[in-house]
Structure 1
Amino acid sequence: MNKQQLTFPKDFWWGSAWSAEQSEGRGETGKAETVWERWYKEQPYRFYQGISSETTTDHIHRYKEDVQLMKQTGHNSFRVSISWARMFPADGTGEVNPKAIEFYRDLFTEMNKNNIKVFANLYHFDMPAVLQDKGGWESREVVDAYVKFADTCFKEFGDLVYHWFTFNEPLGPILGSYLEDFHYPNIIDFKRGAQATHFTILAHAKAIAAHKKRDLNSKIGVILNLSPTFPRSQNPADVKAAEIADLFYVRSFLDPMVKGRYPEKLVELLREYDQLPSDYTEEDLACIKENTAQILGLNYYEPRRVKARLTAVNPEGPFLPDWFFENHVMPGRRMNEYRGWEIYEKGIHDLCMDIKENYGNIESFISENGMGVANEERFMDETGQVIDDYRIEYVQDHLAYLWKAINDGCNIKGYHLWTFIDCWSWINAYKNRYGLVSLDLPTQKRTIKKSGEFYKQLSDQNGFEYDVDRLV
């Protein structure tokens, strides 16, 4: 055993993240229906235990208490999202809601007063339903509405926000809405998804252009969910399968949002199968090229492992990425059995090295990483505290590889855990708990878990002791 203190760079960002739809609740400020509220009304049986986002963590009423809990769990930074549906409750555009401005200004002021940097994300899956009716991300009109929303946020909160982000995991709504049936409106149509992808990337670029005009001190970037892709073997067929999977799931957003251009190999492949978006212009492409992310959030949970297809594709079935590969279940992999995800700590190092070597070592941070566990009340002691040693170990193991990446020259400025207080998790609702603070849903009582106490110590010491012999 070779234990040593792993120390992180000065002013490292320790914190966590969540989103408006998953934490705020509706409240009294006025809020339009989101696609999640619409979907819940139409198909409540698809949501775990029939729990909607109506109340969630009730953060809108409890934000002052919650900011104190941030301090008590070692936060010097925290990522929120701003609800488009709350800011523009009438129609997603038009008149801004003064009560929403008041709430967010109060929240951000409270955070700053307590030395917690505000990382503000503009879109986290929560399209106003009225704009989805206009085509959602398939519509240029919705792109314009988003840019107005973004620019309004820059104007109203620019003096309080440390860093801005255009989107969290923009790949998620594309996969869920157009390919895999886990987001409203549950369409299976790759070409429409490609159009929504292009307009999402265009919206990102136009929001960055608007931010530049405001001449704010903050930077603006994007948060992407990135899983390093590993082939089953070095067999050329497996390697090619991994390359194509990587184009679809990693480079599709990373390249245009950071480099300003789409990956040529992906464009060629989609052209071959007639799956390119039908509505794009040279002006769009110039805007995307000129307005790239200034900072990059990296969400890392699991690796992606693939192999060459062994079975034929149904030519009458819809075009999908897995026409070109199959998922590989690696023998001996370690799993988070509750979430169904592989635990592979070294992947966080691989991801950071990719950004260093292929994306100009852009200023980055881990914007999400965490462990969801079901029925955590099993691990409560007699005082009601969750003794989540498994989460502490998970965080330490990932941070050790992040420390290694920093020492290998990666420009990593922080680590944000998913999440702060147990929050509502889309169709999974409260099935798996991720928080540093446990939530009793009926009473809304918050209790700091053992991991929350560990996180405070981690932040105070700017590091922790670890057996570095475990690093490979």
Structure 2
Amino acid sequence: MEYLYILCLLAPCYATLNNKKFPDDFMFGTATSSYQVEGAWNEDGKGENIWDRLLHTNPNFTVNGDNGDITCNSYHKYKEDVALVKELNVTHYRFSLAWARILPNGHVDQINEAGVQYYKNLITELRANNIEPLVTIYHWDLPQTLQDEGGWPSSDIVDRYADYARLCFSLFGEDVKYWMTFNEPKEFCLQGYGEGTNAPGIKESGTGEYLCAHHVLKAHAKAWHIYEEEFRPTQNGQVGIVLDTNWYEPATDSAEDEIASDTKLQFVFGWYAHPIFKGDYPEVMKNNIQRRSLAQGYAVSRLPEFTPEEIEYVKGTADFLGLNTYSSMLVQPRKYTDVSAMGSEYDSEVEEWYDDSWPKGASPWLVVTPWGIQKLLRWIKNEYNNPRTIITENGYSDYDGTLDDVDRINYIQQYLSGIRDAMDEDGVNVFGYTVWTLIDNLEWVFGFTNKFGLYNVDFNSPNRTRTAKKSVGVYQNIIRTRCLVDDCIDS
């Protein structure tokens, strides 16, 4: 394997990489999610989920009509995937449980033993190879039966999720020490129940995403309390949540643009982080949405309210923060505010855009701005009292899955350098980093056209052959040396 740092091919890049070693206990890993890699969509008793239903009834929803029916076939190839994880020499592997594979109808009255055994086998295989499993309980794939009952905008979902989480802790908790209740709730609430661009495809901007988020936060808190009271004394694990955000860079150094940056971060990240780490929604969210709701003719704010008891129940329910971040955007106050416009984007009253000069990945939302990750980590530290944080997703997409993935190598090295800078210069409490993703997989509505993997997957082969890209060797070397450059100094 070639370990050469194919550094930036842009001369200045090498000089800017941090030259301090990562701490010996810093965790390096990689990740996948159930719907994106498992396949076997209706095998061994698995129930239908909202992505199954959406893409089977509306194949044009994704590029080329791609879906997760087979995708990487990891359900049958999990041992091969664990071997790849082992080859990387990472400390941890983050994956998600498919709710409908464990509970086909979403309820705990019907447990699918074959699905349970699959995850037990996967966890056993990881443990046998000294790989720490980081388990996401929910990564976007709600059982269709629960969507038929109202989905995330329905208050009933809180107890259904709590039942499911309790079962997961009971089934797998002896071998799992890191739990994440949700992956990117902002995305599945906003896109699934607001804009309608992800499953289940419901368009209720301005109301749907807020109801979804409100119930997600209550469900998260309930799961944390269940673990705290029923499982932590014997299992000694940790429960966190994975939140995602860009860094929002002020377009100028004006006070107005600085305020716009903070406002956007509160509407995107604080929406979920504030109730968990500080109690209740951010003030700017409550004020903006109430003012706009009243102007639109609503009697009360479209943003649901927590009771004082709920505020206290949700507050403090994270042992660590999982952070997914890839890109940055420029922001300024929205020049022309349409008070009738619905949706969290309009409620923030902030305008956002990408600078055309920033390098881009295949995904339309991915731009290469490694300077943004240090600023974001610094903001999170200052806003939320420096929570213990692991980067649970960060990576680069291309179109062809090339094995000579120099752009991905550059991206990973530069973002890791920004993280190390934040740890060194700002004292940010980051304990790990996770590359998205282990293998090329189904990138949601972009199908198989956006490839993030360290390993190429041949989707034209019945065997879904995996092949290492150049980034594998570079990541292996980073983990082995804990360095981003040839000559590191101790931290």
TM-score by length of 1: 0.92
- Indicate the residue corresponding to 2:223 in structure 1: 207
Q: 2:214 aligns with which of 169, 180, 198?
A: 198
The answer as to 2:134 corresponding to 1:110 is no
Aligned-pair CA distance for 1:278 = 4.8
Q: Distance in 1 between matches of 2:217 and 2:65?
A: 33
Counterpart secondary structure, 2:174: coil
Q: After alignment, is 454-463 or 62-71 more displaced? A: 454-463
The 3 A distance-change label for structure 1 pair 251 and 278 is closer
2:480 & 2:393 partners in 1: Cα distance? 20
Match in the other structure for 2:147: 132
Match of 1:382 in 2: none
2:266 to 226, 230, 247: 247
Q: 2:253 aligns with which of 234, 239, 260?
A: 234
Match of 1:260 among 271, 279, 284: 279
Q: 1:311 to 1:287 in 2, by over 3 A?
A: same
Structure 1 residue 331: Cα displacement: 5.6
Is 1:318 matched with 2:352? no
Quote how far apart the aligned CAs of 1:265 are: 2.5
The counterpart of 1:288, out of the listed 297, 314, 329, is 314
CA–CA distance in structure 2, aligned partners of residues 248 and 312 of structure 1: 16
Deviation per CA, 1:344-381, whole angstroms, max 9, x where unpaired? 101111122122222222211111110010023xx4xx
| One of 38, 46, 60 as aligned partner of 1:24 | 38
Whole-angstrom CA distance in 1 between matches of 2:130 and 2:30: 14
Q: Does the CA-based 8 Å contact 2:138-2:181 persist in structure 1? A: yes
User: For the residues of structure 2 that align with 1:92 and 1:44, how far apart are their CA atoms?
Assistant: 28
Deviation at 1:247, TM superposition (A): 2.0
Given that residues 436 and 448 in structure 1 are in contact (C-alpha distance below 8 angstroms), is that contact kept between their aligned partners in structure 2?
yes
DSSP-derived class of the 2:484 partner: strand
| TM superposition shift of 1:336 | 2.6
Q: Deviations over 1:107-160 (max 9, x none)?
A: 101101101000001111111111111111112211101111101000010011
Q: In the aligned structure 2, how far is the partner of 1:354 from the partner of 1:164?
A: 25
Aligned residues of 2:290 and 2:302 also touching (Cα < 8 A): yes
Residue 392 of structure 2, aligned match among 331, 353, 367: 367
Q: Report the more deviating stretch, 395-404 or 303-312.
A: 303-312
The verdict on how the C-alpha distance between 1:357 and 1:238 changes in structure 2, with shifts beyond 3 A counting, is closer
Instruction: Quickly say closer, same or farther: Cα 1:280–1:173, change in 2 above 3 A.
Output: same
Q: Which residue of 1 aligns with 2:202?
A: 186
Distance 1:337 1:81 in 2: 24
- The alpha carbon displacement at 1:340 in A equals 4.4
Structure 1 position 166, deviation (Å): 0.6
**Structure 1 pair 232/352, CA: closer, same or farther in 2 (3 Å)?**
same
CA distance in 2 between partners of 1:284 and 1:37 (Å) = 34
**Per-residue deviation at 1:237?**
3.8
Q: Distance in 2 between matches of 1:338 and 1:268?
A: 34
Partner Cα distance (2:194, 2:277) in 1: 24
Name the structure 2 match of 1:406.
423
Alpha-carbon distance between aligned partners in 1 of 2:486 and 2:420, rounded to the nearest angstrom:
11
Structure 1 pair 66–344 and aligned structure 2 pair: CA distance change class (3 A): same
8 Å CA contact 1:111–1:117 kept in 2: the answer is: yes
Instruction: Select which of 395, 414, 417 maps to 1:397.
Output: 414
Distance 1:5 1:264 in 2: 40
Change (3 A) 1:265 1:318: closer
- Distance (Å, rounded) in 1 between the aligned partners of 2:271 and 2:141: 21
2:352 to 313, 323, 327: 327
RMSD: 2.1
Match of 2:302 among 273, 276, 291: 276
Match of 1:451 among 471, 481, 490: 471
**Which residue of structure 1 aligns with residue 482 of structure 2?**
462
CA distance in 1, matches of 2:269, 2:246: 7
Alpha-carbon separation, structure 1, partners of 2:283 and 2:277? 15
1:337 deviates by 5.3
Contact kept, 8 Å, 1:37 with 1:53, in 2: the verdict is yes
Task: Give, in whole Å, the separation in 1 of the partners of 2:452 and 2:304.
Answer: 40
1:201 offset after TM fit, Å?
0.5
Unaligned runs of 5+ in 2: 1-13, 294-300
Q: Deviations over 1:8-44 (max 9, x none)?
A: 0112211111111111112632211111111112211
Q: CA deviation at 1:401?
A: 1.1
CA–CA separation in structure 2 for the residues paired with 1:304 and 1:407: 25
Name the aligned partner's letter for residue 396 of structure 2: M
Q: Which amino acid aligns with 2:291?
A: E
Written as runs of structure 1 = structure 2, the 5 A alignment for 1:44-123 is: 44-123=59-138
Q: What secondary structure sits across from 2:207 in the alignment?
A: helix
SS in 1 for 2:67: coil
* CA gap 1:467/1:170 in 2 versus in 1, 3 angstroms: farther
1:418-443 CA deviation, whole Å, 9 max, x = no partner?
00011111111111111111100132
Counterparts of 2:270 and 2:359, CA distance in 1: 26
Amino acid at match of 1:361: N
324-333 vs 56-65, greater mean Cα deviation: 324-333
Q: Secondary structure at the match of 2:156?
A: helix
Residues 145, 5 of structure 1: alpha-carbon distance in 2 compared, 3 angstrom cutoff: same
Structure 1 equivalent of residue 459 of structure 2: 441
* Offset of residue 329 of structure 1: 3.9
Counterpart residue identity of residue 306, structure 1 = V
1:7 equivalent to 2:21? Answer yes
Listed one character per residue, the Cα deviations across residues 439-464 of structure 1 (whole Å, up to 9, x for unaligned) are: 00132001111111211122122223
Count matched residues.
Answer: 458
What secondary structure, in the 3-state scheme, does the structure 2 residue paired with 1:6 have? Answer: coil
Q: Percent of aligned positions with the same letter in both sequences?
A: 31
Cross-structure match for 2:370:
345
Q: Distance in 1 between matches of 2:26 and 2:262?
A: 34
- 2:329·2:355 contact (CA, 8 Å) conserved in 1? no
CA pair 336-91 structure 1, distance change in 2 beyond 3 A: closer
Q: Secondary structure at the match of 1:420?
A: coil
